[in-house]
Amino acid sequence: MFGESVTPLFNDRTNYEICVKQAFYTEPTQSAGVQLMQTVIHDTPFQAKLLVMEMRLLAFGTAALNGCYKWMARYIRIHGQPSFDIPQMRFVQAGLGLSEDGTKVFLIEESILLGRFLAFTQHLQYWMTLKLFFISDYQGGKGLLTDPQVLSSSELGNIFAEGNVSSGYQSFERDHVCNEFCKFFDLRTDYANWPIDSGSRLSKSSPSEPGSSKAHLNGPLFNTGGSMDMALSTTTMSG
């Protein structure tokens, strides 16, 4: 889950954006006769054990990757620059956090701009499809994404992979925190007032224009006339 801290927590003293995570597991559940998977957050003692391991992995990964860059820098000083670009990467800074009553533990990471943008696309997909689905798992790098997972309404049936966890879909409205992208594009958060009825998801009316009052009053940013105008492709850390 993305949000803001009261004070900056990491080296960039101008960045208040954070990503809060907890480890979870999945178990089967039934909804309208369809078997789905729901997420269950681990209890606090086991959660702490898992998150301490995650911190250990981040520390080890940071040291190992930094060692690679130092080794390359020494080599380049002797042999000169290569003819290709060397990707500049690092692991996020992170720490453990406790709830005020001390009953819950979280992994708190610095927020990545790309992560906030992808969280915005989830909000936009949720609106564009009028709560039918959104992409929950983006993987890849250098502008290319792969291996998506879809979280969808039970209305679509069991058409996606086992990662289509019903509780993840159902908790979107509660857990999503709008960021600068959501606010700039004026995405709606009055979820209960969205124009959803038996025919609105596949309406034959003309698409509304993004950012206009029409888009906010009359429906999704696209209407498909009978078929989705998006490709439906078929951690564990929640966030």
Domain ranges of the chain: 27-38+112-234
Q: Are strands 133-141 and 105-110 parallel, antiparallel or unpaired?
A: unpaired
Q: 222-236: per-residue pLDDT in tens? A: 333 333 333 322 233
Question: CATH number of the domain at 27-38+112-234, please?
Answer: 3.20.200.10
152-208 pLDDT, tens digit each: 988 888 888 777 878 888 889 998 989 888 999 999 999 999 887 644 454 433 334
The whole model's pTM is what?
Answer: 0.59
> What is the C-alpha separation between 19 and 46, in angstroms, rounded?
20
Q: Which 3 state secondary structure label does DSSP give 68?
A: helix
Q: How far apart are CA 42 and CA 46, in angstroms?
A: 6
Rounded Cα distance between 77 and 42, Å, is 49
What is the per-residue DSSP string for 156-225? G-S-S-TT-BHHHHHTHHHH----HHHHHTT----GGGS---TTGGG--SPPPPTTSHHHHHH--S---T
